[in-house]
């Protein structure tokens, strides 16, 4: 399965996304939509630092080339 198809199958699910940067940013939210460049639109997004929820961000759009890891939360 292609990565875009796998991520598209997660639309409507809660996911965790690790972003590039120093320190590395981890966001958690409900995947609302994804495009062919793996740009993501997350709803009810929260920022995690050291595994702890630090702040609520609401609706967030993430650029695909800044994403390191996408993992579903069960």
Name, in order, each residue with C-beta under 8 angstroms of 8's C-beta and a sequence gap of 6 or more. 34
**Domains located in the chain, CATH noted:** 3-72 (2.30.30.100)
Position of tokens 């495009």? 35
pLDDT by position in tens, the chain (length 74): 677 889 999 999 999 999 998 778 899 999 999 999 999 999 999 999 888 899 999 999 999 999 999 999 98
Q: How far apart are CA 5 and CA 25, in angstroms?
A: 24
CA dihedral (64, 2, 74, 68) in degrees, to 10, reads: -30
Q: What is the pTM of this model?
A: 0.89
Q: How far apart are CA 33 and CA 36, in angstroms?
A: 11
């Amino acid at each position: 399965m292609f990565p875009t198809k796998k991520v598209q199958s997660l639309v409507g699910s809660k996911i965790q996304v690790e972003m590039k940067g120093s320190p590395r940013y981890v966001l958690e939210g409900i995947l609302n939509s994804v495009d062919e460049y793996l740009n993501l639109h997350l709803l009810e997004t929260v920022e995690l630092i050291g595994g702890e929820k630090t702040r609520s961000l609401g609706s967030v759009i993430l650029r695909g080339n800044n994403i390191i890891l996408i993992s579903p939360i069960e």
